[in-house]
Amino acid sequence: MKVENLRIVFSPTVYENRRRRPEEFAEIAREIRRDIIKMLVLAGSGHSGGPLGCADIHAVLFFGGYMRYRPKEPWWVGRDRYVLSAGHLCPVLYATLARAGFFPIEELRTLRKFGSRLQGHPGRDMGLPGIETSTASLGQGISIAVGMALSDKWLDRNDRRVFALTGDGELQEGSVWEAAMAAAHYRLDNLCWIVDNNDCQIDGRVHDVMSIYPLDKKFDAFGFAVLECDGHNYAELMACFDQFLENHRRSIGKPTVIIAHTKMGRGVSFMEDDYRWHGKPPTPEQALKALQELEDPYIAVIEPIEA
């Protein structure tokens, strides 16, 4: 089957950023997961597993009233900033930003296409609203986020907050721990560092390739307020983000890390917890099955017209 034989329709729904009950995030996260599958099968390349695994984190962070942002005024000076340090996970960020109203949802069709603002790794120079910085070279984005938090807290002395997400394989980069050291040294309680802890990386289990554990003790020793949760449990994610905002309000003098235990490929049965889905897209047949599992109301096979 060719991708042209699939009926790929993106729903027009845009979601508000407001306080919600935990169960309200399920449909938003499912929508984001459907977008990820559609973007990837249309692109014919890209990363499937990581973005699917982070959909719940993004749903709660962007649509639960935690981050301050204005989609129609993306560079509003009072906004909180989000840095996706694991830049290859960008399909989840593109879907989230589109669903928040930063740019037209139909633009999701252009992932990885020549001239698109939605490149395979996020580029600030592409001009896509909501992309605060270019990322992908692993270990760099979190350092940029620390710089943002540093300038907010000690130069501009404002009350903005910086959220950043790293992968867990990414923590094998030495520069990550320099960033951690600086964040604690400068008492950056306006920094919320999220670790997507799926124990998967490009070619194996993180604990087999190069163990980063025990992660909680490492961050604690570096001077962080350490929170841990099931990264697919909305109530637990909410409790962590609430605690971070409280830490910031109380100026605890420490950065916060949320170690979110996730499963790569979450939501698609044949991708779940399998590192081989790190860097490949679904075939049209696999996309059909995935979208059926994700209850996509549009998906169908278009029969070729007989000549």
Number of residues that bind Mg ion (CB under 5 A): 5
57 binds Mg ion (CB under 5 A): no
Chain centroid to Cα 242, Å, comes to 18
Is 168 a binder of Mg ion (CB under 5 A)?
yes
Computed on alpha carbons and rounded to an integer, the radius of gyration of the chain in Å comes to 19
Please identify, using beta-carbon distances, which residue of 209 and 239 lies nearer to Mg ion. Answer: 209
If one asks whether residue 48 binds Mg ion (CB under 5 A), the answer comes out as: no
- Contact code string over 237-276 relative to Mg ion, x by CB under 5 A: ----------------------------------------
Inter-CA distances, 168 with 32, 37, 207, Å: 22, 23, 10
Two tokens, residue 268:
């698609």
Residue type, 304: P
For residues 136 and 200, which CB has a smaller minimum distance to Mg ion in the complex?
200
Please tell me whether residue 173 binds Mg ion under the rule CB under 5 A: no
Q: Where do we find the tokens 């001239």?
A: 115
Q: What is the DSSP letter of 162?
A: E
CA–CA dist 100, 71 (Å, integer): 7
Return the range that interacts with Mg ion (CB under 5 A); candidates 63-71, 159-167, 172-180, 228-236: 159-167
Region at 188 (left for phi over 0; alpha for psi -120 to 50; beta for the rest) = beta
Taking the C-alpha atoms of residue 141 and residue 149, their distance in angstroms, rounded to an integer, is 12
Answer yes or no whether residue 87 interacts with Mg ion by CB under 5 A: no
Residue nearer to Mg ion on the CB measure, 91 or 101:
91
- Give the residue with the Cβ less far from Mg ion, 28 or 54: 54
For residues 153 and 263, which CB has a smaller minimum distance to Mg ion in the complex? 263
Contact between 122 and Mg ion by CB under 5 A: the answer reads no
Distance CA 133, CA 111 (A): 18
Site for Mg ion in 197-216 (CB under 5 A): 198, 200
196: left (phi over 0), alpha (psi -120 to 50) or beta: beta
At 213, the amino acid letter reads Y
* Interaction between residue 167 and Mg ion (CB under 5 A): yes
- Examine residue 176 and tell whether it contacts Mg ion (CB under 5 A): no
In the complex with Mg ion, which residue's Cβ is closer, 7 or 205? 205
166 binds Mg ion per the rule CB under 5 A: no
List residues near Mg ion by CB under 5 A: 167-169, 198, 200
